[in-house]
Each structure stands twice: as structure tokens, then as C-alpha cells.
Amino acid sequence: MNLWSKSDLTERFYSGKTRALHGTHVSTGDRLWSTFPNMRPMATITADTLDWYGFDEFGGSVHDVIGTRCDPYTHHLLQHDDYHYCCHSNLTRALAKHCDLSLDEAERHVHDVLNVFMCTGFTRDTGQYFMKASPVRPGDYLEFYAEIDLIMGLSACPGGDCSQEHSSDAAACYPLLVEVFDPGEEARAAHRISAPSGYDRSHGTK
């Protein structure tokens, strides 16, 4: 999943900073932070039906901010061929279409993701990133409260439950439903848009 500020695509979800502030995997109550210089909550997670999973015996959990996204460049590096339906390319095509941008321009705005539903961790012995079959089942969901006006991009990974291979059409994939709800007039009236960082941005020159 990618997030952009609707008014400025250069303000986007900052996976690394969200990880530093909340941990390797996010859940209810955690916030999804935006890039510098604004660095503010873009969205808050308000419900997660996979909360029960916690961390398993291997250190795996769901909804990570440690993976980057499957992409054709890494695939090309490792497999020496071209695959065009990685999450990176899916997000690029979707953003280009939604914002009427060239592929080249849209691709620059695609960024490290929140891996919704994916079950991942680091191996205890060697510290390497691993993926295993996701416990997600039909009906499970992750709910966000939009703190600012957002554009969201979501790719159903060609890796399916991501337990086997990525970057091919081999895995079984299932549709993802995205619904946008209105919290109601009262909540909208009471909402305070998260303020950009108060740092003065002089970086030691004053």
C-alpha cells in the first residue's frame, strides 16, 4: 500500500520512519507518518481483525513496514528477465492513470510500502527478511482514519499470500476490497488536520 497527500504527491508515506516510531509491524492505534519536511500522521489505524496474530514463534507478524515492495528491477537482477506485474509496476500504472501522469513521472512517487496482511519477520539466527503464508481470510480487514486528504494505492501482490514466489503469475491471488467511509458530519467538524512538523528547517545555518 502507498499513501500520498492529495494536494502534494511529494508528501508520501514514510515506511522507515513509521517503523522507527512504532516497530516492524503496525496495528490498531499506530499512525502512518509522512516524509520530511511535513512528517505528520497521514492516517491512524483504527481497527485490525488480525490483531490476534501478534508475533508467532518465528518472530513473524502481519502488516509490516520492513519489506519494500516486489519490483521488476530486483527481479531482473536475480532472474535476468522481465516481469511487469510486480507491486511496484501495479502502483506505478495506477498512480499514472489516477493523476494523469507519464509512467516515468508516476514511478518517482512510488515508495516503500505498508505490507497489508503480509506475514513477515527477520530470522532469529541470521537476521534475514522472511515471508510466510498470511493468516488473512475473507472478511479480515484493516481500517484507517484519514488524518489528511489522501490518495491511496493498493496492489494485490502477484505473490498471493507471499509464501512462495513473487514476480510471476504462479501464485493464487485473491481480490482486495477497498471501501471509503464518511465518519459523519460531527466527526468531520471536530477533526483537526495534523499539523506539519514545527522544525524551522534552517539546518544549522542561523
Binding stretches for Zn ion (CB under 5 A): 70, 87, 157, 159, 162
State in angstroms the smallest separation of the CB of 38 from Zn ion: 27
State in angstroms the smallest separation of the CB of 37 from Zn ion: 29
State in angstroms the smallest separation of the CB of 195 from Zn ion: 33
DSSP class of 197: P
For residue 58 the three cell numbers come to 518465528
Residue 64 neighbours by CB under 8 Å, 6+ apart: 24, 25, 26, 114, 115, 118, 120, 121
State in angstroms the smallest separation of the CB of 167 from Zn ion: 8
Q: How far apart are CA 159 and CA 152, in angstroms?
A: 20
Dihedral of CA atoms 127, 129, 132, 138 in degrees, nearest 10, equals: 130
Q: Tell the residue number behind the cell numbers 503480509, with chain if given.
A: 118
Termini Cα distance of the chain = 39
Is the previous residue joined to 37 through a cis bond, with omega within 30 degrees of 0? yes
